[in-house]
Structure formats: structure tokens, C-alpha cells
Amino acid sequence: MKRVAVIGTGFAALSAARKLRQLDKQVEISVIGPRPELVFLPSLIWLPSGKRRAEDLRIPLDDFFRRNDIRFVAGEATGLEQGGRTVLTTAGPVHNDGLVIACGGRFIKKLPGIEHAITPCEGIAAVERLRDRVAAMQDGTIALGFAGNPNEPSAMRGGPMFEFLFGLDTQLRREGRRDRIKLAFFNPMPNPGNRLGEKAVARLLAEMQRRDIATHLGHKLAGFEKDKVKTEGGEFAADLIVFMPGLTGNAWFDNTDLPRSPGGLIKADAHCRVEGRERVYVAGDAGSFPGPDWMPKQAHMADLQAETAAENLLAELNGGKAEKTFKVELLCIVDSLDAGMLVKRTPDGGFALPPLGPMHTAKAFFESWYLRRYR
């Protein structure tokens, strides 16, 4: 019996495990992760307003693993041996005939004073801190922004920051506090969100202006203080700082000889195969893939890469060749609690719709539809 190990319990890891089981009922699948649960990160944006609670976003995976005859290893990866055939974990070694690395990335925390900022996509606890800080504010300024990896511009996750920004504006207006609490958006690029496409950037900036959100754009970030955002173009006061830094590889990658990109991610080819490795694949935020510079780090892209990795790995295990390539597609709804802006981009073009009420409903429906497979 062939053995496949999957590192992670996020979107890429679970999509890879699902695809493996769908295509092969006999392969032995081991999923490695700290806890048997999926945190539905896209809905973190709804925690500050109370639209979602923490328990809504933690999805236990025990039943999913049992239904699909998947072994769960409760541990964290610490390294690899034998060219990837052995995964070293805090729970002991996991041997395999094929490996999918889908453990996500790590936020770069190098800016001076970054301890004063909340990084929401770190998880539920971070957004709960944000929720509580906002609830306690009587007046002042909330500053929100994001940046990339200077050595790998595509290794960033900016979309959620627009959603936190617009969502907080809607929430504060509903609560009658927006006139006392200012919102400011900062970014080192003059056209933030450029990977979404020019039309999307224009709509985002117009929406900020319409909502009376101050902008500080086009200046490299210099750091933070408890009540201040500092850039090379000046500084401004902020009572609460929400910041999403760029992504790099996980710390345990340093304990391996895996090939790394300039930004610290695992280098992969168009088939999601790790360069120079036999039957070792990567999907999602952990990997650096060939493609356009706007290729996103988002759940949808991770799913597409994971399914490609699973299919190619099984082909190799069965004596064939890895020939499948993944579709490059950016697809998201930039939500604002009461509406959503649908954005799509492919190599052939794209579009960005204006904010529409039904798109907010559609985003909530997608959450329910997506999670049915795991609940």
C-alpha cells in the first residue's frame, strides 16, 4: 500500500487529502497538524462585528478524517530526512512514499515596533484582540495596512485588510461611533491592491474616499510605536494599528535542504513539484510557483494547487508522469458587512464589480457551502 503524508490542516492540505482519497480509495493518507481542526480564515473579517463567533470558525475534522479513512498525526513538522521520505515531527517520524507540504507560510515580523500591531490573519485570538480593542474605543484613530515580502512581491495577503477596513467602517457607522473614530489606510505602494487589477484598485480607492478614510500611500514603512505609524514619508498618530506583513517560509524549512525562493518559500515547478525532489509537492502559501506576478496567496489558489499536487503525486506513485498544471485565477469578494465587490482576474483578463448587497450574501453562502464537506 502506498503511503502519502500531508503536512497541514488548512485549505491546501485538506484539499490535497480530499483529492487523494477521491482518486485512490486504497492509498494510505496521513495528515500532520497541531490539532484536528480547520480555522476558516476568510470569515475572520466578521468577528469584530459579532456576525461570527470563534466557535463558528473552528471546524473539527475528526469526522471528516474518519469518513475518508485518513490518519491524523497530532504534531508539528520539524524537518525532513531521506529526501522527504521521512517527516520529522514533535510526535515522532512519519514515513511516506509521497509528500505534500501544505502548512502555510509565516508572517515577517521584522519591522521595529511591530509588537504594537495586531496581525489579524494570524488567527482567531488576534482578531478577538482587535474586536475587544475596537469595542473599548471611545474616540481616536484605527490605522490599517499591509506590506509584502521585499524579496518576493507575490508573498502577501492584502485582500483581507480591505475587508477589515470597510467592515470596521460599516460597523462603526451602525454603532453611531464613526464620527468619533477615524480610519486610516497605509501601504508602501502608491496603488495598493494592484494584483487585483487596475479597475479593482480604482474602485477600492474610490470607496475609501467615499467612506472618508484617510490614506497614507507610496512610502516605505519605517516601523511602529504604541500610538504611531512611521514611514519614510512621515508619521501619523494611531490609537490602534492593524497590520498584515508579507509572508515567508515556516521556520522548520530551515532544518531541511528544500530549495528556497528569494523570499524564503519552497521552490516549485508548474506541476507543484518541489524542484529537484522525488515525489515531494507543495501547495498554497508555503510554495513559490511560476506564474504572473499577480498570482494570489488566497484559499482559492491554494485549493487549485493542492488538487494539482495530489493528482500529479498519484500519477508518479503509479509509475506515470506529473503532467497536470494548475489554473491561475484570482477570485474574491471584498466584503464590507453590507455589500461585496466581486473581483476576478485570469491571464486572459478580469473585472471588478462595484459593491453590491447580494455579494455579501453570496460570500456567506459560499462559507456554508465550502464547509459542508468538512462538517
Considering the domain architecture, whether residues 138 and 222 belong to the same structural domain is answered as yes
Residues 6+ apart with CB under 8 A from 109: 119, 245
Considering the domain architecture, whether residues 122 and 196 belong to the same structural domain is answered as yes
Considering the domain architecture, whether residues 143 and 47 belong to the same structural domain is answered as no
pLDDT at 194 over 90: no
Helices (H), the chain: 11-23, 54-57, 62-67, 124-136, 159-174, 198-210, 299-317, 357-371
Question: Residue 157 — very low, low, confident or very high, per pLDDT cuts 50/70/90?
Answer: confident
Considering the domain architecture, whether residues 241 and 279 belong to the same structural domain is answered as no
Considering the domain architecture, whether residues 37 and 74 belong to the same structural domain is answered as yes
Average pLDDT, the chain: 96
Residues 6+ apart with CB under 8 A from 40: 57, 59, 367, 370, 371
Residue 342's φ and ψ, nearest 5 degrees, are -80, 125
Considering the domain architecture, whether residues 209 and 115 belong to the same structural domain is answered as yes
Chain segment 267-309, per-residue pLDDT in tens: 999 999 999 999 999 999 999 999 998 999 999 999 999 999 9
CB 201 within 8 A of CB 232: no
d(CA 89, CA 108): 23
Q: What is the pLDDT of residue 193?
A: 86
In a domain, 274, yes or no: yes
In a domain, 363, yes or no: no
Final residue of a structural domain among 317, 344, 362: 317
Q: What is the pLDDT of residue 256?
A: 97
Work out the burial of residue 251: count CB atoms within 10 Å of its CB; fewer than 13 is exposed, 13-18 middle, 19 or more buried. Answer: exposed
Considering the domain architecture, whether residues 206 and 219 belong to the same structural domain is answered as yes
Question: Residue 244 — very low, low, confident or very high, per pLDDT cuts 50/70/90?
Answer: very high
How many other C-beta atoms can be found within 10 angstroms of the C-beta atom of residue 119?
18
In a domain, 353, yes or no: no
Overall domain count for the chain: 2
In a domain, 373, yes or no: no
Residues 6+ apart with CB under 8 A from 137: 177, 181, 239, 240
Chain segment 27-55, per-residue pLDDT in tens: 999 999 999 999 999 999 999 999 999 99
Query: Is the overall model pTM greater than 0.85, yes or no?
Result: yes
Q: What is the pLDDT of residue 297?
A: 92
Residues 6+ apart with CB under 8 A from 129: 118
In a domain, 93, yes or no: yes
CATH of the domain at 183: 3.50.50.60
Considering the domain architecture, whether residues 236 and 164 belong to the same structural domain is answered as yes
Considering the domain architecture, whether residues 123 and 236 belong to the same structural domain is answered as yes
Q: What is the pLDDT of residue 335?
A: 97
Considering the domain architecture, whether residues 156 and 189 belong to the same structural domain is answered as yes
In a domain, 122, yes or no: yes
Considering the domain architecture, whether residues 10 and 63 belong to the same structural domain is answered as yes
In a domain, 178, yes or no: yes
Considering the domain architecture, whether residues 122 and 241 belong to the same structural domain is answered as yes
Q: What is the pLDDT of residue 7?
A: 98
Q: CA 275, 108, 334 angle in degrees (round to 5)?
A: 90
Chain segment 57-89, per-residue pLDDT in tens: 999 999 999 999 999 999 999 999 999 999 999
Q: Which domain holds residue 226?
A: 110-246
Q: What is the pLDDT of residue 283?
A: 98
pLDDT at 22 over 90: yes
Q: What is the pLDDT of residue 153?
A: 82
Final residue of a structural domain among 246, 271, 299: 246
One-letter identity of residue 328: V
Q: What is the pLDDT of residue 1?
A: 86
Best mean pLDDT range from 126-130, 153-157, 190-194 = 126-130
Average pLDDT on 319-342 reads 96
**CA proximity to 339, closest of 354, 321, 325, 356:** 356
Final residue of a structural domain among 207, 222, 246: 246
In a domain, 158, yes or no: yes
CB 279 within 8 A of CB 317: yes
